[in-house]
């Protein structure tokens, strides 16, 4: 190791380097969606913990959270509690202004005949 130069300056945390690396690699949108999804899951765990495992954020569109639910009951409850969840997301320290929640039912586990 005699060829190594001593480190100069303060070391950086890796988490501070990730956004820059994501931008350089063209993954900035994916990183932002991941942050939003983490915040959404945190909000659901606080407001409706039973829904946190049955729903996931898949995107945003015109100020609305696009959420996919695994079953009809979860989708219905998300729809009914959309204003409450959107408000909680807006006021979360990592959240952003949100107008509402749009819910989609997941096709996971369904046979093609059920989708018709």
Is position 7 within any domain?
no
* CATH code for the domain in which residue 85 is found: 3.30.300.180
Mean pLDDT of the residues in the chain: 83
Q: What is the pLDDT of residue 16?
A: 66
pTM of the model: 0.72
Is position 1 within any domain?
no
Rounded CA separation 8/44 (Å): 44
Query: Between these two residues, 100 and 29, which has the higher pLDDT value?
Result: 100
pLDDT tens figures, 10-57: 666 666 666 677 677 777 788 888 889 999 999 999 999 999 999 999
Mean pLDDT of 54-75: 94
What are the structure tokens assigned to 108, written together? 């996971």
Among candidate residues 86, 82, 65, 84, the one with its CA nearest the CA of residue 74 = 82
Is position 12 within any domain?
no
Q: How many domains does the chain have?
A: 1
Is position 9 within any domain?
no
Domain coverage including residue 23:
17-115
Is position 4 within any domain?
no
């Amino acid at each position: 190791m005699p060829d190594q130069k001593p480190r100069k300056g303060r070391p950086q945390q890796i988490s501070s380097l990730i956004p820059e690396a994501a931008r350089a690699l063209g993954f900035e949108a994916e990183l932002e969606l991941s942050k939003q999804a983490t915040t959404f899951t945190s909000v659901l765990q606080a407001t409706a913990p039973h829904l946190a495992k049955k729903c996931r954020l898949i995107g945003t569109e015109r100020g609305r959270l696009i959420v996919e639910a695994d079953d009809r009951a979860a989708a219905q409850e998300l729809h009914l509690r959309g204003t409450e969840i959107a408000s909680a997301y807006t006021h979360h320290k990592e959240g952003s202004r949100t107008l509402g929640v749009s819910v989609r039912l997941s096709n996971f586990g369904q046979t093609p005949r059920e989708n018709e």
